[in-house]
Amino acid sequence: MDWSFDIAIKNRKLLEGFIDNHTLEELNKVPEGFNNSIIWNIAHTIVTQQLLIYNLSGLPMLIPNDMVETYRKGTKTERNLSQEEVDSIKNLLFSTTEKTKEDYSSNLFKSYKAYTVSTKSKLTTVKEAIEFNNFHEGIHLGYILALRKSL
**What integer pLDDT is reported at residue 129 of this predicted model?**
98
Q: What is the DSSP letter of 42?
A: H
User: Averaged in consecutive runs of 10 residues, what is the pLDDT profile of the chain (151 residues)?
Assistant: 96 98 98 96 98 98 98 97 98 98 98 97 98 98 97 91
Q: Contact at 8 Å (CB) between 96 and 46?
A: yes
Domains by residue range for the chain, with CATH: 2-149 (1.20.120.450)
State the DSSP string of 99-136. HHHHHHHTT-------EE-TTSPEE-SHHHHHHHHHHH
pLDDT digits (tens, 9 = 90+) for 22-46: 999 999 999 999 999 999 999 999 9
Query: How high is the mean pLDDT of the chain?
Result: 97
Q: Identity (one letter) of the amino acid at 97? A: T
Provide the pLDDT for residue 98: 97
Look at residue 79 in the predicted model and tell me its pLDDT: 97
